[in-house]
Amino acid sequence: MGTPTCWTPHRRGYAQKLFRQGLTIAEAAQKLRVTRSALGLAVTRYQMNVPPRDLVTFTDLAVTLGISVTEVHRLTARRGITPGRWLGNSTVTAKEAAALQAEREPVLDSWPPNYLTAEQVAQRWDLTVSRAQARLREHEVPYVLVRVVGKPSPKRAYHPRDVDGARPPTHFSQRPAGTLDAEELAVILSRSAAMVRLWAQQGMPHLEQRGPKRERLFRLPEVVTWLQQHRDSRTRRLGAYIAAQQQREAA
């Protein structure tokens, strides 16, 4: 690959066209028949890393909305927005970004009385913070955003009544009907029991017994629904396959 002596407007325009198609610098460099470092220098020199006016990166949108990039991914997924790509970064159109900003929840300046943080919810439920947050999202527990001094993003505050409505069942004296343990579910899903337990830690619906004998039990319909909504495409395909298999067996 040879490094061009100059980056003409035509060549820069072609590079930006490749970036709009979602190519990374390495991929675009191959198309342009230049080295990755040469393209990287040109990107910096000619400010080609600045997205077009009609595109907004998830990073910029996260700053505007006062949330994390991960939350932006979840927000766009809930709204059915298919993200684009720019230099390897996820993007939305300026119109989509404006719509998301318009429906952004108001941010309070002071913490509402008796409201709980996610950490307090986790203590209330005797779960880890990550698992509590996953359950709060799964059950779409209402929240308000509150500015916190020293924090770049607002925190979510939950009303105890709403939190208690989504409390996970944690005790059972007898095994509920229609439930599967991790090993039984693993056989149905053709996965390992360790993978099933990992999914449970990531928020897959389950019942959990506390005490000396800690056991997780699963209901297959809830598991299938969770799999079909997973962010990983392979996991979603597994959920769709199991759902179709259930339909065939029921027919």
Question: Would you state the pLDDT for residue 3?
Answer: 47
3-state secondary structure 73-122: HHHHHHCCCCCEEECCEEEEEHHHHHHHHHCCCCEECCCCCCCECHHHHH
- Report pTM: 0.40
Residue corresponding to tokens 């309070």: 108
CB neighbours of 251 closer than 8 A, spacing ≥ 6?
Answer: none
Domains in the chain: boundaries: 11-45, 55-102, 114-165, 180-246
The string of DSSP letters for 109-169 reads SSPPTT-B-HHHHHHHHTS-HHHHHHHHHHTT---EEE--TT-SSPEEEB-HHHHHHTPPP
Query: Using CA atoms, how far apart are residues 109 and 145, in angstroms rounded to an integer?
Result: 9
Angle, vertex CA 90, rays to CA 223 and CA 33, nearest 5: 125
* Token representation of residue 155: 């925190």
Query: Using CA atoms, how far apart are residues 205 and 226, in angstroms rounded to an integer?
Result: 7
**Nearest alpha-carbon partner for 50 in 86, 14, 12:** 86
Architecture, CATH, for domain 55-102:
Orthogonal Bundle (1.10)
Identical fold, 55-102 and 180-246 = no
pLDDT digits (tens, 9 = 90+) for 96-118: 888 887 777 677 888 999 899 99
DSSP 8-state symbol, 67? S
Query: Where on the phi/psi map is residue 150: left (φ > 0), alpha (ψ -120 to 50), or beta?
Result: left
91 and 85 Cβ atoms separated by less than 8 Å: yes
Question: Would you state the pLDDT for residue 212?
Answer: 59
What number does CATH give the domain 180-246? Answer: 1.10.10
Amino acid at 8: T
Per-residue confidence of the chain (251 residues) as pLDDT tens digits?
Answer: 444 557 888 888 888 788 877 777 888 888 888 888 888 888 888 877 777 778 888 888 887 776 778 888 888 888 888 888 877 788 899 888 888 877 776 778 889 998 999 999 998 887 889 888 888 888 888 888 888 887 777 888 999 888 877 877 656 667 778 889 899 999 999 999 999 988 887 778 888 766 556 678 898 998 998 898 887 888 888 988 888 888 888 77
**Nearest alpha-carbon partner for 18 in 27, 10, 9:** 27
